Amino acid sequence: MAASAKRRRGWRKRLGALARFTGALVIVGGLYSAFAPSLYAQEAEDNAIDSEVVKGQELYDTSCISCHGDNGEGVEGRGPSLIGIGSGAVEFQVNTGRMPMAAQGAQAPSGEPVFTEEEAEWLGAYIEYLGGGAEVPDDLEILVEDADTAEGGDLYRVNCSSCHGFAGGGGALSSGAHAPDLIGVSDEELYQAMLTGPQNMPVFADNELTPEQKADIIAYVQYIVNDDKDPGGVFDLGRFGPSTEGLAIFLVGISALLLATLWIAGKS
């Protein structure tokens, strides 16, 4: 009986040890499964970024290197350095068809894009990899939704209206350049333009206009270029604003008065 009891106690000890060992394995496995996916996701994300950089370099070496040089350092008389301009500027220039530039001129005109939006992202990733730079915020849509349109109007009139017009209709500049109209331009493209400063346009870095202020300007631009909110009225005369209508009415009115005066003088 004593031997039998000892054997039972021995089995109970072994089973208890096995249960504790199994429980420890379950706990360790649970902790590993909780933290391992994030590690794998980070690794996959890093690999995806590296893949974009490699693809971007391949496109750069075949389409951009002759003007912008090895490693984006620029070529004198052909193209500027791309170090530090960031992915936002690259995607703007490529997606609007301004780059690759067909020929040197007073202004790089917008046109049909040579690369797809995905390829533009690859090029932007490569330039970002070379020298960093400004990017479009991931929460740009939220920033624009929460923007202060009135504040954006003040900022637009101070920083943008002298070139793009009070109603976003664009206008001629010096040396054959021109400021394009802002009708139909997306929020992202407007933000990218402020980052890249194409042609005569100044670059508005975050220390000059914060992301929130840029979003305010975008909200105001989208407000004034909306077809239902044309500031030019019924006869907008090229969307230059209500002053052009007043000038037209003044000229027509003065001309009518002069004709009436001459007619009355002739009759008398």
Statement: residue 9 has pLDDT above 90: no
Phi, psi of 171 (to 5 degrees): 175, 165
Identify which of 147, 148, 171 has the alpha carbon closest to the alpha carbon of residue 241. Answer: 171
Residue written as tokens 């070379």?
130
| Within a domain: 188 | no
Residue 157 inside a domain? The answer is no
35 vs 172: CA distance, rounded Å: 58
Residue 162 pLDDT > 50, yes or no? Answer: yes
Tokens describing residue 259 = 């004709």
Calpha distance 174→170 (Å, rounded): 13
Lowest mean pLDDT among 22-36, 86-100, 113-127, 189-203: 22-36
In this prediction, residue 195 carries a pLDDT of 85
Residue 215 domain-assigned (yes or no): no
**pLDDT tens-place string over residues 150-159:** 999 999 999 9
Please provide the average confidence, as pLDDT, over all residues in the chain: 79
Check which CATH number belongs to the domain holding 94 and give it.
1.10.760.10
Question: Encoding tokens for residue 48?
Answer: 């995806």
CA 235, 240, 244, 246 torsion-angle sign: positive
Q: Given a cut of 50, is residue 44 above it in pLDDT?
A: no
* Domain around 86: 41-135
Q: What is the pLDDT of residue 178?
A: 80
The tally of domains found in the chain comes to 1
* Half-sphere exposure in the Cβ direction for 233 (13 Å, CA): 10
Q: With bands split at pLDDT 50, 70 and 90, how would you rate the model's confidence at 198?
A: confident
Residue bearing tokens 């690369």: 115
pLDDT of amino acid 39: 45
Residue 74 within any structural domain of the chain: yes
